[in-house]
Structure formats: structure tokens, C-alpha cells
Structure 1
Amino acid sequence: MLKSSLIISTYNWSEALDLVLKSALLQSELPNEIIIADDGSTDETKTLIASYTKKSKIPIIHIWHKDKGFKKAEILNKAIAKAQGQYIIQVDGDCIMHRNFVKDHISFSSKGQYLHGSRVNIQKYYLETLFKNRQVDFKFYSKGIKKRTRAMYIPFLSNFYKKKENFSSKYRGCNTSFFKSDFLTINGYNERFEGWGREDSELAIRFHNLGLFARRLRFKGIVFHIYHPEKSKNRLELNNSIEQKTIKDKSIKTEKGINQYL
């Protein structure tokens, strides 16, 4: 049976991470382990994770490094280096998972491809209710969401979405999965990326350069993204240039990647 590792990236938002972890432990099919990639959060996050570790039936591993600014690529490499699963399922610490999220990713896993799923937005006005009720169950008709057609759970329709050769603009690193072996082949995330933007899409582009296909999980594999103000984009122009070079050179393997932690 395929062993899976659920990777959750987070930074200093324990209130949101609480709901994400709650949704993780309510999965219809649990992963073999949960690894939290913590980009330098304070002790509040550490305390929350410890409380979940005590009550979880599966291992919860907290990978932390000192806060050095937005270093998501680096902390994800460190976390995935520790993963025992053959299959990596990745979400952000502000994305509540549908109860069949893990099951859906595993059911569509296949050699020679990676997966990416849909993201439903939870609106700003609903946050007080969300956190007060610690809500993790959402449906198509639920209050507080927009782009609600993405919340329609109809697994049968997912079969009509076939694998594709080209990178999709719908790809989001907050809802993706891949074989760890493929991730290692391309040396993981490019740690030249600092600050918000493009570390996830550049990874997927190198998957394609390796020869992988992409398959979209539509109508299944859903996450519900909790509203937050946009992060600083002061490094976006530089990050764009790194990604464009990957496209131009058809790069497969990054020089500064996961190999540092193996």
C-alpha cells in the first residue's frame, strides 16, 4: 500500500493551523504521517502542534527553523527530506481540507504525473464565525465562501479531467501531490526563491521538464482557503526572472535544493 506524508506549511497563524490540523485528523483516510513545515513561528504554534501530537493516532512531526523572512522553499525542502512516505501531499496552513482530501489525492496518484486540486475561498466577513465555531465542514451551499462551484464534490466528474503535458495556470502549491522520488530527482524546491511567489509554479515547471504530466483534481481533492491580507510582493520581480530562466533553459534540477538535508 502506498505510504503518504501530508506536508503542511505554516508561519505564525496558529488560529488557522488549528482548523487545518483538525481537518487533517478528521480525514476519511489518514496519511501515514503529518509533517508541519514551520517557517519560523513563535512558541504559540509549537504549543498548538504539541496538543495535536498528544491526541493523534498518526505521527505529527514539527520541522522548524529560525525566522529569516519568507523562506517557504527552504522549510518545505527540510520537511520533505524527513518524510517517510513515498507520496507527498501538500497543503498550506491556511487551507482547511475536505474530509476526503487525502483519499482523493491517493486515489488519483500514478507514476509519471503530479496532481493539483481546487481552492475555495472563505471570505473575510466570515472569519469571526469560522474561528468561533472551529468550522471545518463546508458544502457547495455553505455560508462564507465564494467561487462556490469549486466546492462541488462530485468524484465521478473528476474522471473527465485527463493528464496534460503542459503547466496549468490553475496550479496552486497549497493543493498538490507528487511522488517523493520525482521531487528528489529535480532536487526539490529552488531555494533561490525568497519572499512570496513562484516557488511552487517553478517546481511544477521542472516536473514538466522532467517529463511528468499534470492532472487536475476537479470536483474532488478540495481545500478551503481562509482569507488573509496579501503578503508582500517586493521580491516578485526577481522571482519571476528565476522562473523565466527555468522555462528558457528547460531546467530540471535546481542547484540549491533538498540535497542539503538528505
Structure 2
Amino acid sequence: MTAPTTSLLVSTYNWPAALALVLRSALAQRQRPTEVLVADDGSRDDTAALVASLVPRFADAGVPLVHVWHPDEGFRLSAIRNRALARATGDYVLMVDGDCVLHPGFVASHVAFARPGTFVQGSRVLVDQARSARALAAGDTRFGAFDRGLRNRHYALSLPLLSRLVPPNADPLRGTRGCNMAYWRADAVRVNGFNEQFVGWGREDSEFTARMLAAGLARRLLKFGGIVFHLWHDERARAALDGNHQLYEAIVRTGASRAAEGLDRYLPAGRAD
């Protein structure tokens, strides 16, 4: 199979120091993405300035860097992801959060693992507060499996041969996290992207996964590859979680595969892929 073109979609909100590390780690990939899209959920001007400052470096590497922004009207992650997906041109989307620093083999291992008719849930290595602070202060994107300050460090081991031996979860919705996920863009279009009925933190990733499954796609787990290092931060406000969970359960019960309010509002008329 010919290697797909890749769109690295990085979501962010008002943490340019962390975003800088993530973008620098994207440039340090052994196999660079075809393009990088920053899905910005209404950050201040310092995030836009950071992205603008890095555009020439990405251009020199032959990788377009695109800043996709909308005004800050609360947590609207689904909407900004859809806006970025509408701008994406790659066959395969690698989706991470703007506080997840990429292992140098992140893109290559995801591409090697990609298969038609499937989407992928990756893992994250949790970096503690002290180690995160040191990385941010030094602008350091290099993390090793045996560094101090890492939790679940076994996820930091890059062992491609073992990746293919990891069985799927008995519950295909277990452990869903949008901070490290990969899918074919055409499949995301088919399910109409992310559901913009979800406003506020919580369950938007699980609902997207449930609709991908309802569309007949298989979910695969990528372990020992596709590695990201998740920087420490305070937990987000969870006031919307109960309501979002109820919405999630209601949609799952219907077996719907397509979001009622989703990606199609941003696609040019007549464009289906």
C-alpha cells in the first residue's frame, strides 16, 4: 500500500509554551507529516504569534503549518476540530492535543500501523509536574522511557514488532482519548466529523468513537508506537460532564453513525472528501 499523506491536527487553547514543544517535536519527526493544522479553540494573540513565527521553519522543511482559529465562546473542541478537518488535505489524520509532545517516531509508526476500514487509539505517557516544568523551561522535546518523572513509562517503549501483537479491548469504547487518535479523513467525513452538540469538556471523543464503530469501522490499539508525552497541567473544569454523558448515552442508543451538527457545515458545497 502506498504511504498515505498525513495531516497532523493539534488542538490547543491558551498554552503557547506547551504548543511550541509539540510543534518543534513535529519538525523533529523521522517521517514528517504532510501538513500540520493547529486547531485553536479561541486562544489569545500570543498563540497566533507563536504559530506565525514557526511558519517559515515549517516551510523550509516542506510542511505547511496552518493556524485554524475561532473566537473564544467556551470549550468548543468539536467545532474547532471540524474547522481544521475541513482545511485538511491529507489522507490520514493524526490527532493530538497541544500538550502532548511527540516521540520522533510518532508519525512513522502511526503510518505503518494504518489500515483501511479501521481507526486507531494511541496511548500517552504521563509526565509529572516537575519534569514538565523542566521541559517547558528548557524548550526540551526529548523524553526517554527511563527518564525520571514519567508515569506508565512502559508506554514510552518504541517496539514496532510488539505493536501488532496487542489485542483489541473487549469493550471497544474503553480508554478513548482524543489526545492520540488516528483515522482516515474520508471516514471522518462519512460520520460528519465531531458532534458540535458537545460543548464543555467531556465525552466528545467517546461519542466520535461510537459513531465510527456504528459506521462499521474497527478500532485498533497502538501500543509501543505512536508515542506522546502528555505534559502535566491542572484538570479542566468538568461542569458539563454530566450533561455531555447523558447526550453521549442517548446518541449511542440510537446507533447513529452521522453527527447531526458536524463537519459538513464547513465543507465547500459539493465537496464530500
Using the size of structure 2 for normalisation, the TM-score is 0.93
Cα distance between partner residues in 1 of 2:168 and 2:27: 30
1:95 aligned to 2:100?
A: yes
Equivalent in 64, 67, 73 of residue 68 of structure 1: 73
Cα distance between partner residues in 1 of 2:131 and 2:169: 36
Residue in 2 aligned with 1:41? 43
Provide the aligned length of Structure 1 versus Structure 2: 262
Residue in 2 aligned with 1:80? 85
Deviation sequence 1:154-175 (CA, Å, 0-9, x none): 1111110245685242221000
Deviation sequence 1:179-228 (CA, Å, 0-9, x none): 01110111010000011011111101111111111111111111000011
Helix, strand or coil: the match of 2:265? helix
In structure 1, the gaps of 5 or more residues are none
* Residues 109/258 of structure 1: CA separation in 2 closer, same or farther (3 Å cut): same
Aligned-residue offset at 1:92: 0.3
Cα distance between partner residues in 2 of 1:212 and 1:24: 28
1:209 aligned to 2:214?
A: yes
Cα distance between partner residues in 2 of 1:179 and 1:67: 28
Equivalent in 182, 185, 189 of residue 187 of structure 2: 182
Structure 1 window deviating more from structure 2 (136-145 vs 18-27): it is 136-145
Aligned-residue offset at 1:127: 2.9
Contact 1:27 1:99 in 2 (8 A): yes
In structure 2, the gaps of 5 or more residues are 268-273
Cα distance between partner residues in 2 of 1:43 and 1:144: 32
1:11 aligned to 2:18?
A: no
Moved over 4 A (4+): 162-166
* Residues 206/165 of structure 1: CA separation in 2 closer, same or farther (3 Å cut): farther
Deviation sequence 1:126-180 (CA, Å, 0-9, x none): 2331112212111210122111111111111111024568524222100000001
Equivalent in 236, 253, 261 of residue 256 of structure 1: 261
Structure 1 window deviating more from structure 2 (163-172 vs 243-252): it is 163-172
Equivalent in 106, 113, 116 of residue 118 of structure 2: 113
Contact 2:40 2:69 in 1 (8 A): yes
Helix, strand or coil: the match of 1:173? coil
Residue in 2 aligned with 1:219? 224
Equivalent in 50, 53, 58 of residue 51 of structure 1: 53
Contact 1:119 1:225 in 2 (8 A): yes
Identity %: 38
Cα distance between partner residues in 2 of 1:165 and 1:3: 31
